[in-house]
């Protein structure tokens, strides 16, 4: 088994690390120095190396060079969204398999995401780079507010600002200062938000499930509320349309193997805030859009597993753990990868910030509860059933009760919490 270098800016990926060790790999972890003493599964890690949290890509490459003098690094895995581009730079530097910086940018840089998705014929929110004042002014005259100003390379809803007019926008751009060019401006598209979580092998989607959020994650992050998501049936109108769109997305974005978490929105109204471009105009050969597909707008994708216990929810529904499958993909090499068998079940999660440091959830006793989330100042339950209607009923009941029993709110973070 090869030696794998795992990058983790934040504490996550424990199941990935354990599966790498179970498969017999030599596991090296490169993380921020502030996380050297964190609760990593040390029994699964051969060496922990650190860099300052402020380290540049050049700093990381120098650290990797030092590691490579005594370790023959054969695989690199980015366990967090913030590590995807750095991992790509390391692969190119060491000339080892995996996606390079150009492909990685499609999964990290939201401007690259928008441009690539639109060229594939997918609907995207109307958008604009913010390099040029005249172009920004022309765009804001053409596209009605509200708009969203977001970092091009961030994760979740961190750093996103909703702006309601030109004065607010110019103030926000001035406040961005030297970081202005690293922002993306786009139309705010209201509607229901969905996510598709995938496993890719030889550039083909070999596993995917569609889920639907309760309220959009951006609203939860900025306005408060309870986080909800649940798996949808593959043969439902929503599920079938989004599985087809996800296949086209992954085909065009070019990741040969790995996992991906992608989000789409079903626009509530106003087609003028959605941009479409014919893929055939660029010579791209794709299956034609179905009428149902055109109702959905691409939001973003990533070369990682979903956060907020989405991996656990998918496992409760299907029996497939995406962290472990990702480890298998990384270590398979040129051998054949067998996609996992899965249960045809359903699951959902209800997760809330809690007023209590350690919430007492003992009053929740339904047999469908499969995971009780133990996290400081959080209350969370994952439920599973073979009947999607039972999952929906439990989510509705628990959401009402969570607001009474636990719910608390807090300002959105400016950066991820370690």
- The per-residue pLDDT for 294 is 56
Within this chain, do residues 9 and 83 fall inside the same structural domain, yes or no?
yes
Within this chain, do residues 351 and 377 fall inside the same structural domain, yes or no?
yes
Within this chain, do residues 143 and 171 fall inside the same structural domain, yes or no?
yes
Q: How many domains does one find in the chain? A: 3
CB 300 within 8 A of CB 261: no
Domain membership of residue 20 (yes or no) is: yes
Within this chain, do residues 94 and 115 fall inside the same structural domain, yes or no?
no
Give me the phi and psi of 328, to 5 degrees please. Answer: -60, -45
Within this chain, do residues 92 and 114 fall inside the same structural domain, yes or no?
no
Range of the domain at 377: 345-412
Within this chain, do residues 80 and 11 fall inside the same structural domain, yes or no?
yes
Domain membership of residue 271 (yes or no) is: no
Within this chain, do residues 142 and 91 fall inside the same structural domain, yes or no?
no
Within this chain, do residues 167 and 93 fall inside the same structural domain, yes or no?
no
Within this chain, do residues 30 and 57 fall inside the same structural domain, yes or no?
yes
Give dist(CA 240, CA 293) in Å, integer: 9
Cα 232 to chain centroid, rounded: 18
Domain membership of residue 291 (yes or no) is: no
Q: Which of 98, 123, 156 is the last residue of a domain?
A: 98
- The per-residue pLDDT for 224 is 87
Q: Which of 187, 214, 231 is the last residue of a domain?
A: 187
CB 83 within 8 A of CB 11: no
Q: What is the CATH number of the domain that holds 133?
A: 3.30.1490.20
pTM of the entire predicted model: 0.91
Give dist(CA 170, CA 131) in Å, integer: 13
Domain membership of residue 15 (yes or no) is: yes
Domain membership of residue 388 (yes or no) is: yes
Within this chain, do residues 134 and 61 fall inside the same structural domain, yes or no?
no
Q: Which of 98, 121, 147 is the last residue of a domain?
A: 98
- The per-residue pLDDT for 1 is 84
Q: What is the CATH number of the domain that holds 25?
A: 3.40.50.20
What sign results for the dihedral spanned by CA atoms 271, 275, 276, 277?
A: positive
Within this chain, do residues 353 and 387 fall inside the same structural domain, yes or no?
yes
Domain membership of residue 293 (yes or no) is: no
Domain membership of residue 212 (yes or no) is: no
Domain membership of residue 238 (yes or no) is: no
Within this chain, do residues 28 and 50 fall inside the same structural domain, yes or no?
yes
Going residue by residue through the chain, which has 418 residues, state the pLDDT in tens, using 9 for 90 and above. Answer: 899 999 999 999 999 999 999 999 999 999 999 999 999 999 999 999 999 999 999 999 999 999 999 999 999 999 999 999 999 999 999 999 999 999 999 999 999 999 999 999 999 999 999 999 999 999 999 999 999 999 998 755 567 899 999 999 999 999 999 999 999 999 999 999 999 999 999 999 999 999 999 988 888 877 889 999 999 999 999 999 999 999 999 999 999 999 999 999 998 876 667 876 644 444 444 444 444 445 899 999 999 999 989 999 999 999 999 999 999 999 987 778 888 899 999 999 999 999 999 999 999 999 999 999 999 999 999 999 999 999 999 999 999 999 999 999 877 655 555 4
CB 126 within 8 A of CB 275: yes
């Amino acid at each position: 088994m090869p030696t794998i270098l795992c990058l983790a800016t934040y504490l996550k990926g424990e199941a990935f690390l354990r599966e790498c060790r179970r498969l017999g790999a030599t596991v090296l972890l490169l993380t921020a120095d502030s996380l050297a003493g964190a609760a990593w599964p040390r029994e699964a890690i051969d060496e922990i190396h650190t860099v300052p949290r402020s380290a540049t890509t050049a700093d990381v490459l120098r650290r990797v060079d030092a590691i490579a003098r005594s370790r023959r690094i054969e695989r690199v895995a980015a366990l967090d969204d913030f590590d995807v581009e750095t991992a790509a730079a390391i692969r190119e530097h060491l000339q080892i398999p995996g996606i390079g910086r150009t492909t990685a940018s499609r999964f990290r840089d939201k401007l690259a995401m928008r441009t690539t998705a639109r060229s594939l014929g997918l609907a995207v929110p109307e958008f604009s780079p913010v390099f040029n004042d005249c172009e920004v002014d022309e765009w804001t005259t053409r596209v009605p507010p509200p708009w969203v100003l977001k970092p091009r390379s961030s994760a979740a809803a961190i750093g996103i600002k909703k702006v309601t007019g030109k004065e607010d926008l110019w103030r926000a751009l001035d406040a961005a200062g030297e970081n202005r060019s690293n922002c993306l401006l786009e139309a705010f598209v209201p509607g229901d938000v969905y996510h598709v979580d995938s496993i890719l092998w030889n550039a083909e989607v070999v596993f995917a499930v569609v889920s639907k959020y309760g309220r959009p994650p951006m609203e939860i992050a900025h306005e408060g509320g309870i986080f909800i998501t649940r798996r949808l049936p593959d043969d439902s109108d929503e599920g079938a349309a989004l599985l087809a769109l996800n296949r086209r997305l992954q085909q065009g974005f070019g990741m040969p193997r790995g996992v991906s978490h992608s989000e789409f929105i079903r626009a509530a109204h106003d087609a003028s805030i959605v941009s479409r471009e014919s893929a055939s105009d660029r010579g791209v050969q794709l299956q034609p859009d179905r009428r149902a597909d055109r109702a959905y707008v691409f939001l973003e994708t990533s070369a990682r597993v979903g956060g907020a216990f989405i991996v656990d929810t998918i496992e409760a529904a299907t029996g497939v753990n995406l962290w472990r499958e990702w480890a298998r993909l990384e270590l398979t090499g040129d051998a054949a990868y067998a996609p996992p068998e899965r249960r045809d079940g359903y699951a959902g999660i209800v997760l809330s910030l809690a007023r209590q440091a350690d919430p007492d959830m003992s009053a929740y006793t339904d047999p469908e509860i499969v995971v009780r989330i133990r996290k400081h100042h959080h209350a969370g339950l994952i439920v599973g059933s073979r009947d999607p209607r039972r999952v929906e009923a439990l989510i509705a009941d628990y959401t009402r009760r969570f607001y009474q029993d636990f719910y608390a709110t807090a300002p959105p973070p400016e950066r991820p919490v370690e």
